[in-house]
Each structure stands twice: as structure tokens, then as C-alpha cells.
Structure 1
């Protein structure tokens, strides 16, 4: 069933950053979607909008197929807003275990696990240091790259924007030839992240190879203990550079215990790659729907 947007909703705007940043600081979310930068950068494909239900602030969105949903209410009477949304025919996406414990214990709510949306959580020190035999192959690939290419690791800054955008164009060209799905929104979001990094509070690293950008990664702090990597792009023809930029991104956030590397979207190759880094936890996400009446 197609659900219209709430009549009082409005599009998410850059001016909403202080409000949402304050709410996320209070919430300390573990789910990677819950940062202003992530919502803003994917506002086009997901049609993110803000509305209020009573005193609760709610983000409304749409899936890739156009289906309407809402993220878990962010403030105020969360339980009341949740019931209203479900009664109005919305599904809720991105509820985690903590949200379910607080607001989901109701026979009128059907809970469905979304394995493709689980976030991969790692010890930052594991990814930054690659210790022991578990990461032997990752270290070998980095050594392979380092032995063949002179490179520098740099903190991302305005001077790197054009180089990152050029790399992103090449990355898109190669992926387009392979028939990758969801390519346009991913490319557009990454390009805007590079362009608006300062305004969005994103940090990152660049691997410079013989004067040009060979890889970059951008992210931010998700909560007090966790950094989240939103975008990681690398030259597809340089073996070992993706492992290098992953390591260097994790070395940037020295005050964090964990790194969240988001979901695999059900892509088998991506799932294998993420599991190969030995996550300490998969942060579970759920769909919530109104239980059909008998």
C-alpha cells in the first residue's frame, strides 16, 4: 500500500544539522544511519523529511522501491509517536535491540530482522594495527602495494577535493561496466560528501600515489566510543590500496574504541569482505510493522 507523506512534513535541510546533532549526541546511537551527514547525503534517493508527532521528532523516508517508512522517533513521546506511525500504515526501519527493549514489547507490533542492513562493528585497534595471524592476508596486501607504489597518507582537506572527485568518476566508470546496482545515489552522495565535508563535519584520509589520489575514506563519530566510515573509494586497479586506506582511516580516530563500517546490503562479495575483518558484533536492525488483525 502506498502511504502519502505526513502533511506537516518538510524536506531535510542543511540548516537542520544543529538540531539533529544535538539529538544524536543525547541518543548516542549505534545504528549507522543516525547521523546528520548520512541522512543529508542520502536525502535525494530516500526523500528524507522531518515531521513532529506531538512532541516527537520523526524522520520520514522512502525505500529504493518507493515504499514509505519512518526511522525510529528521535525525541519526546517515542512510544506514542511509534504507535501513531504504525496506526497510520507506516513501517519503521532501523530499530535496534535497545529500541526494541524500550518501545517494541507490544503484541500489536510485528518485528522483522533485516540481516542485509546489519552494521559491522569492529575494534578500532584491530583494523588500525592488523595484529596476529587473523589479519595476515590484509598485511600482505598492504605490503604488496607499498613495495610497488610510492605513496603518502594525508589527512583529508580541501586541497584533495578535485583529486577525490576524479577518483570517484573512475570508480563509477568501472562499477558501471560491471552493472552494479544503486550506483547513481552512492556516487552522488560520495561526491557531495567530498564537496561539503567541512559543513557536514566529516573527517578522513587520502592515499596519494605519485601525486594523485589513489584512495580516500570519509566518516565521523557515531557516538562517544565509535567512529563510522561512510565512504571508502579506491583505485580498482591498485591491489592492496583498499586495505591500506581502511587501516589508515582507523588510525585517524584514536579516541574511539570501535569502528562501524555500515551494512553489506546483501551483496555477497561485500559481505565476505566485511566478515574477513572479523567484526566483534553485528549491530542488528529491524523492521517494525503493525500486526495484522485476525
Structure 2
């Protein structure tokens, strides 16, 4: 698969000019009513997302649920189902949950800044302004390469050193070892030394607690001496790729991260692993690039030309 083209798929275009309605809740753009996300919406939203087979990390219920407060996500059902929310840089957006035509795009854009995230720039041909922000782009990896840390010389060396020094063990995350994962999370917070409100601590705690309800699974890494060292939580995206939502580890075991990522990639059952975006943070970008991604997936934003 060509890394430069992966994910640049065109959403199928509908010819029926479907419009939106309709749940009890607060008024939102497109003539509909939006409701805050709830767990009982998972089946409906996943059924809508599945035919799109979008590779973007937002197109999974777990991602939407866990960051519902951060982005003020609301669900609008009806004949033009969509999610409304706010991007990390503050733009109010609508996220289509079905394929749309130009008329549907125009209706969704009433009262929002943009449609986002879109996996291609097809709406540019219909007269819309289409742009992207590199900070939004997902990092994607071939699982086969990540399992061997191919192209990631420094990370491979770290993983080998960790394996030689600690004789680590990886096991599926479960109720039986959840306490150990929470111990890692608490230690990670102490290591980073930041205000919890400035981190994803709460979302990660919720993901651990609700992992089965959200369709998440993961790995816990312990040293040979039984010390919890790292864990990750991942979901499955609409296109079958695996999306790593959280990865936490203790600073004293720097090699635990690449060792864990390689083990996960080798056993995840997918060809592609998505590590989400870097949010424009240099540390995140450096860490993701050091693992030798196959490429990045742009997330396009479409808006009415000239702000009309």
C-alpha cells in the first residue's frame, strides 16, 4: 500500500440531497437537534460509520465518547446524521456520519465553521473551500514494520535494552491486572509533573474503566520482577485499522514504550496501526516520527467559499 495515498479516499457521493433532522435536544446546524453522547448511542453510531470505512481516528465511537467533553460533541440523527463539535483550535464543526453531496454539505455548514474531519478534498470540486491543518494529521504505521521497529533504529535499540535488562512480560489488559495499569497511570502523572487538568488523565481513567463498553482492548507490560511498566489501550476503526488511544509508561523504563508497541503490532490482527495526531506538540511529533510511520493522514476541513 502506498503510504502517500493511504487514507486519501473519496467518500461516496449521495444523489438524494438528504437533509438533517431530529432528536430531542438542543438546536444545531442543518435543521436538526443534537444530543450529548451517551453509551447507548454506540450501536447506532457504529452502524452509521461502518459503511464509510474512514481511516481517520475520529471515526470510531470510543474516540468520540472519550473526548466528548473536550470537543463538546453532540449527535444528530435522522436522514443526514452527523456529530457537531469543536476542533482543538476552536472551530465549530460538523462531522458527517454518512456520505454527502454538495447540498447536504451546504446544509450542515449552516451555523458551523467547517465540515471536519474529511478524508479527502472532493468538496473542493463542488465549490467549497477545503484546507487542512498538519497538527490534525494521524500517524499511521504498517503493523508488520512496527512489530520489528523497522526504520526506527533508536527505538529498536531502546526496546532491546529494556528487554535485556528487565525481561519484560506483556499480557492482555483485563480486570485481573487493571490495578497495575492504574499504578502505571498514577506514576506517569507523577513523572510528567503537570496539572492533571492539562493532561488526558481523566479520559484515560474512563477508558480503563469502560474499556469493554467502548470496545477497547490493550496490553500491560511488567518487568520480570513484576513491576508495572507500561500499558496501552486501542480500538478498531471503521476501516479495520487499530487505533492506539492511550499509551502510558514510567519514565524510568524508557524502552518500555517501543517494546510494547512492537508487541502490540505483532498481535493486533490488523495491517495498519494508527497513533492519532500530534496536536502540534513537538514532543508528540518527535515520538511518533521516531517510530518510522508509513505516512500521515490529512484531515480536511470544508467550508463555504468566502465565508458565505
Determine if the TM-score, normalized by the shorter chain, exceeds 0.5: yes
The TM-score range, normalised by the shorter chain, is 0.7 to 0.9
Quote the Cα distance in structure 2 between the aligned partners of 1:225 and 1:32: 11
The corresponding residue for 1:136 is 153
Matched, 1:96 2:119: yes
Matched, 1:265 2:255: no
8 A Cα contact 1:116 1:266, kept in partner: yes
The corresponding residue for 2:98 is 75
CA spacing shift, 1:65–1:218, aligned 2, 3 Å:
same
The corresponding residue for 2:172 is 155
Quote the Cα distance in structure 2 between the aligned partners of 1:153 and 1:81: 47
The alpha-carbon deviation at position 171 of structure 1 amounts to: 1.4
Matched, 1:124 2:148: no
The corresponding residue for 1:41 is 66
The alpha-carbon deviation at position 62 of structure 1 amounts to: 2.1
Quote the Cα distance in structure 2 between the aligned partners of 1:79 and 1:219: 34
8 A Cα contact 2:191 2:250, kept in partner: no
Matched, 1:105 2:125: yes
User: Which stretch shows the higher mean deviation, 282-291 or 199-208?
Assistant: 282-291
The one of 164, 167, 180 aligned to 2:181: 164
Q: Deviations over 1:206-241 (max 9, x none)?
A: 101232421011112214442111111111121211
Quote the Cα distance in structure 2 between the aligned partners of 1:261 and 1:32: 8
The one of 220, 223, 226 aligned to 2:235: 220
User: Which stretch shows the higher mean deviation, 115-124 or 204-213?
Assistant: 204-213
Quote the Cα distance in structure 1 between the aligned partners of 2:295 and 2:87: 26
In the alignment, structure 2 segments of 5+ residues that lack a partner are 1-26
Matched, 1:145 2:168: no
**Which secondary structure does the structure 1 equivalent of 2:125 belong to?**
coil
8 A Cα contact 2:52 2:99, kept in partner: no
CA spacing shift, 1:144–1:280, aligned 2, 3 Å:
same
RMSD: 2.3
Matched, 1:15 2:40: yes
The alpha-carbon deviation at position 269 of structure 1 amounts to: 2.0
The corresponding residue for 1:286 is 300
The alpha-carbon deviation at position 290 of structure 1 amounts to: 1.7
Quote the Cα distance in structure 1 between the aligned partners of 2:178 and 2:160: 27
The corresponding residue for 1:32 is 57
The corresponding residue for 2:201 is 187
Matched, 1:232 2:256: no
8 A Cα contact 1:115 1:284, kept in partner: yes
**Which secondary structure does the structure 1 equivalent of 2:252 belong to?**
coil
The alpha-carbon deviation at position 281 of structure 1 amounts to: 2.0
Structure 1 length-normalised TM: 0.87
What is the number of residues matched between the two proteins?
279
Structure 2 length-normalised TM: 0.83
The alpha-carbon deviation at position 79 of structure 1 amounts to: 3.7
The one of 63, 86, 94 aligned to 2:87: 63
8 A Cα contact 1:142 1:243, kept in partner: yes
The corresponding residue for 1:249 is 264
The corresponding residue for 2:13 is none
The one of 96, 109, 134 aligned to 1:115: 134
In the alignment, structure 1 segments of 5+ residues that lack a partner are none
